[in-house]
Structure 1
Amino acid sequence: MNAPPNHCINPHCPAPFPQPAHHRFCQRCGTSLVLRDRYIPRQRLGAGGFATIYTVWDQQQQREQVLKVLTIPAEKALELFAQEAMVLRSLSHPGIPRVDSDSFFEIPTPDQSLYCLVMEKITGPTLEAVLLEQYPQGCPEALVQDWARQAVQILHRLHRRHIIHRDIKPSNLMLRAETGQLVLIDFGGAKQVGAATSSTRLFSAGYSPPEQVVGGRVEPTADIYALGRTLVHLLTGEPPEHWPETARGLDWVRPGLISPPLRALLAAMISPNVSDRPPSMAIIARRLKQLGPPLWQIQLREQGQRLRSQVNYRRRWLWRRGVLPVYRASRQSLEQGVGASGGAIAGCLLGYGGGKVENIGARGAAALTDWLHAQLPGVMVTVDERFWVVVLAGLGTGYGIAWGGLGWRSPLATGLAGALSYGVA
């Protein structure tokens, strides 16, 4: 199998792609194609802000990762880029892309040095894509509540480390394809709480709070505001730029679209006044908990109910098709055995007793012998007086079987058949 071609990361290269897979340097500009003797750039994913994004093959870990290359050699851009690397290296959470300690490095090119950051590749859609492709009229509230809970956990971890993300919006929230875990991405604007106000204003129109837009002091409540605006966008399907400018809070949202408790929480989160917002993610987490169980608990309960239904159905099927027939057959066999034994004993006692009373057995045997001689001339047949015991035993056995196993269906016919078979034998 041939390896895919490589991609040169030099923004000034005249022909960055495709590069032969076995080459270690670009054929056109000479830039290294094997970064740090470990990462091989394969595909350009896009560009935005100060950086270009590539997929790279990590030869050490044998997996695909994401490479972010700083393309604008400005001092402030490099400061933010290095800050992003530092923040990501210091965090360990399933909702934050993993970054190794040696994943921030510099690569020389003929024109300039390029600063690079390698991070975990998150495979899955952004919430912006989920909204546009699956729920253009707005996502179900239970789903948005679940995302909100996960986002609050991630941001609580950041804020405990005195880090503000400053760029929360649907396009910066992703879902891992394999688990559905929410992941917060793009830490290019992250900063430490209490750091000096930057001369460079970073904000996302419609999501960033007023104090961030005007370049004022930013606190963790800025992330609370941005998360609230993001959740309203997801619930309504309406991006912030379409919201009425004259509306107060969520007055423009039609009644019934958002449940009253969640509506009240979101209205507080997106308040333009910092003092009116919930002061921390911990408080938001408690208020979200009061809304009801998280989605995974609801799904787990539903799965448990379905599983119990399936188990009960299988139990009933097993009882009807397996246990019950065996039980019925065993009971029938037992009843037939008891009936046959009882009938045989009763027949024997009746035949034996009758033979002793007034010599009925001997006289009956003689009469039957004479009748057989008349019917079969020339054949010597003698009926023993004990014949009646056997016949009556057969009659009782057959009658008992019919009574015990056939539920009184044709007991007389079965008894006569038993008498005949015993008598002939």
Structure 2
Amino acid sequence: MLANALMIHPNLLLQNRYRVLRVLGKGGFAETFEVDDCGSLKVLKALSLNHFYRRDAKEKAVSLFQREAAVLSRLQHPGIPKVEPDGYFTVPEGSEEPLHCLVMEKIDGVNLKQWRLKWGNRTLSEEQAITWLRQLAQILEQLHQQELIHRDIKPSNIMLRSNGQLALIDFGAVREVTDTYLQRQKENVTGTVIISSGYTPPEQAEGHAVAQSDFFALGRTFVFLLTGKSPIDFDRHSRTGKLLWRESAPHISPELADLMDYLMAAFPGQRPQTPQMILRCIEE
């Protein structure tokens, strides 16, 4: 009986449809595999519950996984991996501790962390940075219109397709901004805390992520791409707390650097409030 993701192995057939080909990676509480779906390559993400000993922690992990599946199956955008309505399933069905699986589109290309390593010391040009920023703002526009926040934007979660288009991946931390969620924020009830060192904004680290939290992480991502350094490698201004990164990106204009600092402002209210505002700043 399949009890956890570790028992998935090459050549295993799931749902009489998905043939497992190879392991792609392990991260967080899930493993990913390449699968063959009737001649089409896809990605299978399997939730591993081995890490959890408490029932409530397991239930929370399953809830986040199911939320990711529901979000991806309803979002239709070239910058977001496609999931078919039957892409989420459990095996064996009806067992007390089934294996939770999610099959999604396999995005052909490299993530931006890999892209950076591949090019060595080559930094992102201003023109390319503006193109990519516009693409990512349009993806976030699609997400935020659905009252969703990603909560884990960073170079390794952005894929560069072979056609030059970017796609945002790993929706395991996605959060729906419901009235209940906003009320809990007001009552100071912290939510699930998702932290990626150097990219997570202060309010999210305290469990109070908002839509503008995605913009902070977006700005930090571009600091990495424009300088080749992790945001945690830079000092911060002793009075304002601003990241002192500009000297490491002398090839970009003050206007683009200002936009990056605007995205990374310390408080959500000081950042652009919507993806449309970012797009307007780019046009200006």
TM range (shorter): 0.7 to 0.9
* 1:66 counterpart letter in structure 2: V
Kindly tell me: are residues 18 and 260 of structure 1, through their superposed partners in 2, closer, same or farther at Cα, counting changes over 3 Å? closer
Per-residue deviation at 1:111?
Answer: 8.9
Q: Cα distance 1:10–1:275, how it changes in 2: closer, same or farther (>3 A)?
A: closer
Higher strand residue share: 2
Amino acid at match of 2:98: S
Match of 2:246 among 246, 253, 259: 253
Where does residue 207 of structure 1 map in the other structure?
199
2:125/2:251 contact within 8 Å kept: no
Q: For residue 46 of structure 2, what is the amino acid of its counterpart?
A: V
Alignment of 1:26-425 (within 5 A): 33-59=12-38, 62-72=39-49, 74-108=58-92, 112-177=97-162, 179-194=163-178, 195=181, 196=184, 199-216=191-208, 218-246=209-237, 248-254=241-247, 256-290=250-284
Deviations 1:397-419 (A, max 9, x none): xxxxxxxxxxxxxxxxxxxxxxx
Q: Quick check: 2:234–2:244 contact (8 Å CA) kept in 1? A: no
The letter of the residue matching 1:268 is Y
Judge conservation of contact 2:110–2:160 (CA < 8 Å) in 1: yes
Measure, in 1, the Cα distance between the counterparts of 2:245 and 2:10. Answer: 51
Q: Distance in 1 between matches of 2:19 and 2:190?
A: 35
Cα deviation digits, residues 315-336 of structure 1 (max 9, x gap): xxxxxxxxxxxxxxxxxxxxxx
Q: CA deviation at 1:17?
A: 4.8
Alpha-carbon distance, 1:37 to partner: 1.4
| Distance in 2 separating the partners of 1:12 and 1:152 | 36
Q: CA deviation at 1:200?
A: 2.9
SS in 1 for 2:13: coil
Give how far 1:276 is off. 1.0
1-side partners of 2:141 and 2:176: how far apart?
14
Q: CA deviation at 1:10?
A: 4.6
Distance (Å, rounded) in 2 between the aligned partners of 1:206 and 1:17:
35
Corresponding letter in the other structure for 1:284: I
For 1:186, give the aligned amino acid: D
> Unmatched 5+ residue regions in structure 1?
1-7, 20-32, 291-425
Q: Partner of 2:134: helix, strand, or coil? A: helix
Task: Tell me if structure 1 keeps the 8 A contact 2:129–2:222.
Answer: yes
Q: TM-score normalized by structure 2?
A: 0.86
1:191 & 1:199 partners in 2: Cα distance?
Answer: 10
Segments of structure 2 that go 5 or more residues without pairing to the other structure are: 53-57
Aligned to 2:55: none
Per-residue deviation, 1:256: 3.4
Higher helix share: 1
Q: Any idea what SS the aligned residue of 2:257 has? A: helix
How many Å apart are 1:54 and its aligned residue?
0.4
Shift of 1:50: 1.1
* Separation of aligned partners in 2, 1:9 and 1:149: 43
Which letter does structure 1 place at the counterpart of 2:207? Answer: G
Amino acid at match of 2:258: A
Identical amino acids, percent of aligned pairs: 42
Taking the aligned partners of 1:67 and 1:53, their CA distance within structure 2 comes to: 6
Letter of the structure 2 residue corresponding to residue 261 of structure 1: E
1:263 is displaced (CA, Å) by: 1.1
Q: What is the deviation of 1:279?
A: 1.0
Larger Rg: 1
Superposed CA offset, 1:249-282 (max 9, x none): 3544217332111111111110111121111110
One-letter amino acid of the counterpart of residue 41, structure 2: E
Q: 2: CA distance between counterparts of 1:214 and 1:273?
A: 13
Of structures 1 and 2, the one scoring higher in RCO (CA 8 A, sep 6+) is: 2
Deviation larger for 236-245 or 154-163 = 236-245
Letter aligned with residue 224 of structure 1? F
Partner SS, residue 125 of structure 1: strand
Task: Go from structure 1 to structure 2 and tell me whether the alpha carbon gap of 1:243 and 1:116 turns closer, same or farther (over 3 Å shift).
Answer: same
Per-residue CA distance 1:341-386 (angstroms, 9 max, x = gap): xxxxxxxxxxxxxxxxxxxxxxxxxxxxxxxxxxxxxxxxxxxxxx
Whether the aligned pair in 1 keeps the contact of 2:149 and 2:176 (CA below 8 Å) is yes
1:256, 1:47 → 2: CA distance? 37
